Structure 1
Amino acid sequence: MIKQNLRDLKKEATAHALADAAYELALERGLDGFVVDDIAQRAGYSRRTFANHFSCKEEAVVMATLTFKEKHEPEKLLASIPEGAHPLDTMYHLLKMRLTAELFRKMRTLVAMSKHSPTLEPYILILLRKLQFEAQSILSELSGGRYPEGYAHLLAGATYGVMLPLIDGSLNVLLPGEPAVESAEAMSFEQYLDTAFNHLRKGF
């Protein structure tokens, strides 16, 4: 069991290093300015190792958004949510934990890149779906069959829709950790999240 855990940790660390290298190269050279061999060389691995983790450079660039430590955060969430908590409260805590300034910064950068490199778009959608599915699984586990089938799916979809205006910058919201600006129109991330969840609780 210990060997298996160590093997899994090493695999995750390798994927993280490759994804980080891909993201850095994309920032430095643009998506068309490097190839898979450049990623492998920067991360210190072979092209074959890259192929064991990612299908293409676009996937690696996008997956850099998920940091190594974040992969274990759902376990912490499960331990911190009281038994019988309403799914909306669970989602609220999950989003506050997951939606960090670093994640938003990288997601906004990816969206900006995708305007010049549309091949990134499918992988951005895959990433969002991955986060949504994770939330859906946590909700299903915590609800213990108290809600109709499909409830967790719909709730996770609705709450992760909260992310989209923040990622594309269509709403004036200060991301976690950003300093306040002079504009009185800017809403803090906490205010935005509270407003969105109030709407969800009232059923719009």
Structure 2
Amino acid sequence: MNKQSLRDIKREATANSLADAAFALALEKGLDGFVVEDIVQRAGYSRRTFANYYSCKEEAVAIAAVIFKGADKVEDWIGSLHEDMPPLDILYNLMKLQLTTEHLSKLQLLISLSKQSPTLEPYILSALHTLQVTAQETISDLSRGRYPEGYTHLLVGAVFGAVLPLLDGSMNVLLSGEPEPETPDAVTFDHYLDTMFDYLRKGF
């Protein structure tokens, strides 16, 4: 992974600040309870700056929930990656690093917001698609051409399909730090992730 230039880092910081402000306002007031002017005032930027990054408040809210804060740890792991590690194990380790309780909780909140405000849905789908494409490209790059492109697409697609039920609440998965639920069928996220990848390794 290439190191970002200072300009890229500043642009990313600006985009993230605007998105985080939009997401916080959406949680506080609901999507209909604020406008772009509220976002830029909270983040400390101008409307023109907002327009350089986002087409509307819905896009900013959706992007905030897929921002990953922990790239340095991922880069360090990739730097120590053994070149013969299979794509399945690469993806497993990257998901362990990236799908933190904070990240999953934000994604769950985003899905919950979209149920109240359907105008969010296309932006959520776009953001999740971007995550999936990025994962496919990363796995392909780290596999160094040892596997067909179709394999990485199938692998990442299967894993994303298994994660989506966690986000919409159709799977009863307990995140780290959450209180034990009353329902006995809940499993921890780590257990769910291990089971999912065990299926992929052994077949269904």
Is the pair's TM-score, using the shorter chain for normalization, greater than 0.5? Answer: yes
Match of 2:155?
A: 155
Runs of 5+ unmatched residues, structure 1: none
Pair 1:203 & 2:203 matched: yes
SS in 1 for 2:69: helix
| Greater CA drift, 39-48 or 146-155 | 146-155
Change (3 A) 1:166 1:119: same
Runs of 5+ unmatched residues, structure 2: none
1:54-73 residue pairs with structure 2 within 5 A? 54-67=54-67, 69-72=69-72
Asked if structure 1 preserves the Cα contact closer than 8 Å seen for 2:26 and 2:61, the reply is yes
Query: 1:66 deviation in Å?
Result: 3.5
Match of 1:104?
A: 104
Query: 1:68 deviation in Å?
Result: 6.0
Post-superposition CA distance 1:75-127 (Å, at most 9, x none): 33422331110111011111111111111111111111111211111111122
Equivalent pairs, count? 201
Asked if structure 2 preserves the Cα contact closer than 8 Å seen for 1:12 and 1:68, the reply is no
Runs of 4+, deviation exceeding 4 Å: 71-74
Change (3 A) 1:64 1:73: farther
| Greater CA drift, 27-36 or 182-191 | 182-191
Give the alignment's TM-score, normalised by structure 1.
0.91
| Greater CA drift, 34-43 or 69-78 | 69-78
Match of 1:79?
A: 79
Mapped partners of 1:49, 1:73: distance in 2: 30
Match of 1:43?
A: 43
Match of 2:22?
A: 22
| Greater CA drift, 69-78 or 40-49 | 69-78
Give the alignment's TM-score, normalised by structure 2.
0.91
Asked if structure 2 preserves the Cα contact closer than 8 Å seen for 1:132 and 1:156, the reply is yes
